[in-house]
Amino acid sequence: MQLITLVSCIAAVVFQLAIPSVCATAVIPPYVYDYAPLVWLHSEDPYRPSDLQAQLDNTTPEVNWQPIQGAPSPVTLDNLDQLNHLGNTSVYLTSHKGIATRPQPAWLRGVTPDAQGRAGNIIACAIVVVDHGEGNVDAFYFYFYAYNKGDKVLGLEFGDHIGDWEHNMVRFANGAPQALWYSQHASGQAFTYQAVEKQGKRPLSYSGNGTHANYAIAGQHDHTIPGINLPTGFLLDYTDRGVLWDPTLNAWAYTYDVGTKVFTPSSPEIPVAWLDFNGQWGDDQPPGEPSIFGEAEYVAGPNGPKFKVLNRSLVCPSTPCIVLPFKIWAA
């Protein structure tokens, strides 16, 4: 599909034909890459950045734990949005062997970045640029992992799920970075650009061991209270300088028009339909899954980037929004 699209776009230009809408491309400002975050993956985290297509190859779209009749075969990043008409938000990309399979399938563990920060040849990041006009631009950096290993509380583990989307967002004014958002579970934290640790001029993000929540510093983080990063508590994430990942080396880039809600790729061979998928990127919560105080070990997979409040008036996706100006350095 990608090759056919590319050939048709080239032919339209060469023979001066009407250019199909699928050939539209976006211009990504250079500063989006110049100030893109670098991610420190935890040294002991076995769940590394994962390939988007591999997630589709190892799952079956289901609704209520039943395979969807009439689903495209194979499911690809070019046709994933077709599932919106076959179940919409009730669609789950259900793993072939199930979330509780032991030993776990190798594909859940992703790819460890090399010394240059590249995780092989996979696509595990989507850069989405939102231009609000008058020089105000938000650049989202979405990171994908095939598996999320939850936290332990009193020896019990909660919140494991297949498929994991996390992100940073950098807000720019006339090409200069102003502030960053770090996604953390159901909430997150915002900081001024000046406050965060950087490598050169690129901000650093520390990924939680197993959970992949993003933090501005290394160490121990309690997220019992959403958006409040305390050094200790009941729900703890752990970050360190394990393996450095440069997500831009494993990324596709797009713009997003908040008026039309249209994603436009930076190159015609880049698939875009997957960004319009309304379903979930993992299994549904298993039937009869036991829970304690409403929390279960295995929970449903997440939805994708389009649901992460791309049209933001504030740096945070919700209010109140506190952008911390504190100088923060790695432990």
Residue 19 has pLDDT above 70, yes or no: no
Residue 9 maps to a domain:
no
Residue 2 maps to a domain:
no
Residue 117 maps to a domain:
yes
Residue 84 maps to a domain:
yes
pLDDT at 11: 47
The Cα 38–Cα 205 span in angstroms is 6
Return the HEC string of 291-322: EECCEECECCCCCCHHHCCCCCCCCCCCCCCC
Which helix (H) or strand (E) is 285 found in, with range? none
Q: Residue 182: give the domain boundaries.
A: 32-324
State pLDDT tens for residues 59-96.
999 999 999 999 999 999 999 999 999 999 999 999 99
Residue 1 has pLDDT above 60, yes or no: no
**Residue 153: how many CA atoms within 13 Å on its side-chain side?**
15
The Cα 71–Cα 74 span in angstroms is 8
State pLDDT tens for residues 155-208.
778 899 999 999 999 999 999 999 999 999 989 999 999 999 999 999 999 999
Residue of higher predicted confidence among 18 and 28: 28
Residue 13 maps to a domain:
no
For residues 298-313, give the mean pLDDT. 97
pLDDT at 170: 99
Residue 25 maps to a domain:
no
Give residue 294's pLDDT band: very low, low, confident or very high (50, 70, 90): low
Residue 122 maps to a domain:
yes
Residue of higher predicted confidence among 26 and 2: 26
Residue 8 has pLDDT above 60, yes or no: no
pLDDT at 17: 45
State pLDDT tens for residues 247-259.
999 999 999 999 9
The Cα 252–Cα 122 span in angstroms is 10
pLDDT at 234: 67
Residue 223 burial (C-beta neighbours within 10 Å; 0-12, 13-18, 19+): buried
Residue 10 has pLDDT above 80, yes or no: no
Mean confidence (pLDDT) of the chain: 91
Residue 62 maps to a domain:
yes
pLDDT at 133: 97
DSSP conformational letter for 135: T
49, 147 Cβ separation under 8 angstroms: no
For residues 311-331, give the mean pLDDT. 85
In this structure, the number of other CB atoms found within 10 A of the CB of residue 285 comes to 17
pLDDT at 94: 98
CA-closest candidate to residue 148, choices 159, 137, 135, 134: 159
CA-closest candidate to residue 318, choices 308, 328, 326: 308
The Cα 220–Cα 256 span in angstroms is 35
Q: What total number of domains does the chain contain?
A: 1
